[in-house]
Chain A
């Protein structure tokens, strides 16, 4: 067992874990933050995407020990004081989700994308979420949701 300390959504957690534990299992099973989902075991689907030290990362492809000392943000930590993040809001406004399973990871990727590229083209959005699979929406409304958020974050409506 190894002791790690991870700051998740602004709260510090110190836990003894098996070194083999994946970060996504640490988040879901040890901390009980089940908003981050698992959709595959080959690092393709992106359902498990979180922000680790501010960058989008597939939490199924990190060991929890690798996150020792890191700041992690999950979908549960995105809204502040009850206000949805503009990307969350965009997904709601534009019907960017159906079953919702890919949504937390998709939203985290969208947040990461807009942080690096506040005014992306449609093509840049599509490439920006190439590491996230959605089986319901055909991506159409996800692109619109991220466009909505980009506009809102730049002071638009």
Chain B
């Protein structure tokens, strides 16, 4: 490889972001634009008996008021990931709900007005007659006898029952084990909270009868597919979807939402006026999909020497009142299949009930399923260590999948035919122990305890599944994904020598414009500045599946790599012609074609591009222009891993937890841009720390979201955190030619359990085994003072 991959270069996209010139959705103003405000259900479960909009229609500035009945011709939004067990009971949102609502915040009407203030004013004049119904908000209680029933097609509110692994073998292992540790855990509901909430602008053209929709989406191509083919029932050519600058997504902007359909449909009703809808934070919290919310019990079996012999898991996954776009795939494929963690566990069984409750939709949130799996496995390992009186690092080491075992298929075929690609799990742990000075740390802990201070050290050795995914595996072979998961790239070397790369992935903070330019520049021997990356508009980019699942670099980047390779082959052919040499005699190095052994007489890629573009003198049968499009379908996913260490101090008089140090040793394979990788790790770690210590969405029994604002829902703040220490090992992935594994979610997948393990370790003198997240000071204080198990 050349000189750009692996360089920690500054981001190309930053100048417009640090000067206020970047255009996010709400920054877009169009002539004649009108503004939508959505009326949302104040009840979590109700039948809509009638809606009277007449008074609202006559308010000043109001252009139109619409209800679900106005859009009855549009189909419900599709569920695109029907994991095993979802059979004809996928209840999904409508553009606006018509007959009933199953969560607080469901849209029931929309006001469109000349200003956002006027639209807000008119909302209170819409009169909805609700028949209020009883509610249930807990994933497990929803399945119990007597629980309110949300959907006729889902008895006992069960949307799906999904299993993986070997139940008989696991039961046998549990029966024969020296020790079995049983624990109930909750992985609480989270509000993903990208700082830029969601929005959309719909523009209908009455002349061409087509739509343009701007949206805060991580995958505009999928949005167009779902909206046209499934909701509107029309050809894809009738819609263009554009994601402008998107201020963070963390998964929540993967999904198709009712409002995206609504702005398009309303624009049509209004003869083509551009209609903007922009979410408030309150709306973001009630109406944008949430993350996690598992109620789980597990049993882990081990020998007295610490060898883990079995893991049995039962999880109730809360899916909310209706299904978000890929909700069923998260607690199944992305969770159950990763329950072996970094360990050689010979017997695994997992059963998941996906349930409907009167709460907001739950879908992918950074890590999506894998943080839940990793949290469970790493808590289980610590519980085994505690039970056996062993050092937690020793139990980890004893059970690690050894480097020579790769490619490794986790036992009981829980990964459904795939294999972990490569790994050196002990290598990452060793490096972490050395960097953190583990031996002295334990001494320090002992001294702290003597002095009455509660210091704790927590570990998390994790592996995740990234670079999603081989299409045949995720779609055809039982995972239930409704399409493929390849990625596209187009690379063109223009006549001027400048390169344009287009990708079907969609940046919303990850720095694609820099890293993808690095890939092309590196291979073509050019300056990164001469490569422009275009994206996020269905007009002008080939179909692509978008950005999530740490896939942009691994899958999208490989598509670019492959296109560049094909361009280089063509350049060699043309260059050879220019050099009057045979194609097999030339080579391409440092951006130049030359006859092997004669680098002084070379044609630069720019010269070749010009020759290819003007096409005055090309080899016979060669098409003009250096241009290639790749659709790359990965043969496997990738499996980043590492060990994180967290050191905490607990104030025993208040229960307050302070993180003293946090170290992340990650192996993401080869890094394209270490500066960006580190940034991804920092941010990912802090999101997991947020889950461990502060964040938690709370519904009351009536289905009201009581943590409905940033005054109640605690995002991590700067002054609660230390610097995040990062280091890495490098085990290239054999799955793709650059050896990259992906870095977007690793931090989040690894971190929550490092913090919880550290706090439980700090409280070891009190015999505490577990506390459910978030570890609020009250829970920690109560655990200390009840002198027992702080879990549920």
Contacts and interface: CB of A to CB of B under 8 A. Distances in A.
Q: Do chains A and B touch in the complex (CB under 8 A)?
A: yes
Interface of A: 18, 20-21, 28-29, 32-42, 44-45, 47, 74-76, 78-79, 84, 88, 91-93, 95, 97-104, 107, 122-123, 125-127, 129-130, 132-143
Residue picked from B683, B685, B709, B721, most chain A C-beta under 10 Å? B683
Contact of A135 (B13, B195, B245, B718): B195
A140 B18 contact: no
Contacts of A127: 718-719
B679 A100 contact: no
Given A88-B19, A100-B247, 17 more contacts: A35-B21, A37-B196, A40-B710, A42-B709, A45-B281, A76-B21, A92-B14, A100-B22, A101-B195, A129-B718, A133-B715, A136-B679, A137-B679, A138-B684, A138-B716, A140-B724, A143-B718
A129 B13 CA distance: 24
B58 interface: no
B723 interface: yes
B449 interface: no
B721 A126 contact: yes
B686 A93 contact: no
Contact of B675 (A44, A95, A132, A138): A95
Contacts of B723: 122, 140, 143
Given A41-B281, A44-B711, A99 B194 contact: yes
B438 interface: no
B29 interface: yes
B246 A84 contact: no
B717 A133 contact: yes
Contacts of B683: 98, 135-138
B716 A100 contact: no
B452 interface: no
Interface string B76-105: 000000000000000000000000000000
B15 interface: yes
A18 B20 contact: no
9 contacts: A34-B20, A42-B710, A45-B195, A92-B18, A100-B13, A130-B718, A138-B685, A140-B686, A141-B682
B11 interface: yes
Interface residues on B, range: 35 or more
Interface stretch (B146-154, B503-511, B585-593, B698-706): B503-511
6 closest pairs, A vs B, by CB?
A35-B20, A101-B247, A138-B686, A99-B509, A100-B17, A75-B20
Contacts of B510: 98
B717 A130 contact: yes
A95 B709 contact: no
B646 interface: no
B761 interface: no
B706 to A, nearest CB: 14
B687 interface: yes
Given A20-B117, A123-B719, A141 B679 contact: yes
Given A20-B117, A33-B20, A42-B709, A100 B509 contact: yes
Contact of B17 (A103, A132, A137, A142): A103
B111 to A, nearest CB: 17
A139 B14 contact: no
Contacts of A99: 194-196, 245-248, 508-509
B245 A100 contact: yes
Chain B interface mostly: loop
Contacts of A79: 19
A112 B709 CA distance: 27
B96 to A, nearest CB: 23
B172 interface: no
Contacts of A37: 24, 26, 195-196, 247
Interface in B706-749: 709-711, 715-719, 721, 723-724, 747
A35 B14 CA distance: 13
B434 interface: no
Interface in B653-683: 675-676, 678-680, 682-683
B303 interface: no
A98 B509 contact: yes
B752 to A, nearest CB: 14
Contacts of A122: 723
Nearest to A35: B20
B779 interface: no
B282 A41 contact: yes
Nearest to B507: A99
B18 A95 contact: no
A135 B19 contact: no
A76 B117 contact: no
A74 B20 contact: yes
Nearest to B680: A98
Contacts of B238: none
A38 B719 CA distance: 22
A85 B196 CA distance: 24
A93 B683 CA distance: 17
B23 interface: yes
B787 interface: no
Nearest to A141: B679
Contacts of A143: 718, 723
B635 to A, nearest CB: 30
Contacts of A35: 19-22
Contacts of B678: 95, 141
Interface in B427-449: none
Interface string B243-271: 00111101000000000000000000000
Contacts of A21: 117
A123 B721 CA distance: 10
B209 interface: no
A40 B709 contact: yes
B709 to A, nearest CB: 5
Nearest to B710: A44
Nearest to B248: A99
Contact of A138 (B246, B709, B721): B721
B315 interface: no
Nearest to A124: B719
Contact of A34 (B17, B27, B193, B196): B27
B19 A142 contact: no
Contacts of B23: 34
B710 A98 contact: no
A97 B16 CA distance: 12
Contacts of B281: 39-42, 45
A68 to B, nearest CB: 19
A92 B10 contact: yes
B33 to A, nearest CB: 11
B280 interface: yes
Contacts of A44: 709-711
Contacts of B194: 99, 101, 135
Contacts of A139: 682, 686, 716-718, 721
Nearest to A36: B20
Interface in B279-295: 280-282
Contacts of B687: 135, 138
Interface in B600-636: none
A93 B8 CA distance: 10
Most chain-B CB neighbours within 10 Å: which of A20, A74, A107, A135? A135
A76 B16 CA distance: 10
B22 A95 contact: no
Given A42-B281, A126-B718, A138-B683, A133 B15 contact: no
Residue among B15, B19, B250, B509 facing the most chain A CB atoms (10 A cut-off): B19
A80 to B, nearest CB: 12
A47 to B, nearest CB: 6
B254 to A, nearest CB: 15
Nearest to B245: A100
A142 B723 CA distance: 10
A109 to B, nearest CB: 10
Interface in B401-432: none
Contacts of B29: 29, 32
Contacts of A135: 193-195, 248, 250, 683, 687, 715
